[in-house]
Amino acid sequence: MASDMNSRTIGGLVVYCDWLSEKGYAAPSQVGPWKIAIRKVFEAVDGPGSGFEDKPLEDLDLDDAFRRFRTLTAQTYKSESQDAYVGRVKRAIEAYEYWLTNQKPPAFRQAGKRSDDGDAAKARETAPKPKTTPLTAVEPGRDERKVEDFIDYPFPLRNGQIARLSLPQRLEKSDVDRMVQLLHALQFEPQPQIPERTGEEQAAA
């Protein structure tokens, strides 16, 4: 592999990725996937041990190389993985060419994690404020009209109490069935008490 970062070769591209990480211009998690993609793509196209590192970038037909990579690895990688590898190689070459032209690396997004407090504060700032609804006066007689739609049915219970059911004037069968199920769920059946002495025991006594 060419060790000269100025060689404008695939090997120089890989050395450039290492240099970005060593000098702190980019995190290893940012340029590491670039190096993997470079090896995956060009090893698939030229074969392992073919010396692709010495190929000048200016002599490469990248569109042809990417098309052949997709064909050769169709049974190995999913199309999403192929797209990811191709995109990483393109970004690596763009960053390398930027450095060759300007003699300085492009600015990379910081990979550091923001604090939870900072995230929470930003979320509070960007969160939409709840809408407030102005208070309005209740229309006179509105609640009374609703009450008039219901009829009170007194129902005497066995213990002498009176239960009052407030029901609408019309009830659908499905609602009645649901109410019956509710009443069944509320019912209480006292357990029969076992006498302390049976009839035979009382007669014997």
Give how far the C-alpha of residue 92 lies from the chain's centroid of Cα atoms, to the nearest Å: 29
Q: Tell me the pTM.
A: 0.53
Pair 3, 15: CB distance under 8 Å:
yes
What's the pLDDT tens digit per position in 92-119?
Answer: 999 999 999 998 888 887 655 554 455 5
| pLDDT for position 113 | 54
All residues at 6 or more sequence positions from 162 whose CB lies less than 8 Å from its CB, including other chains: 154, 155, 156
Q: What percent of the chain has pLDDT over 90?
A: 39
Where are the chain's structural domains? 10-109
What's the pLDDT tens digit per position in 15-39?
Answer: 999 999 999 999 999 999 999 999 9
The larger pLDDT score, comparing residue 62 to residue 132, is at 62
| pLDDT for position 134 | 47
Residue 21 φ then ψ, to 5°: -70, -45
Residue spans of beta strands (DSSP E) within 56-173: 150-156, 162-168
Is pLDDT at 200 greater than 50 in this prediction?
A: yes
What's the pLDDT tens digit per position in 141-160?
Answer: 444 445 557 787 788 877 88
> What average pLDDT does the structure give for the chain?
78
**Distance between CA atoms of residues 180 and 132, nearest Å:** 41
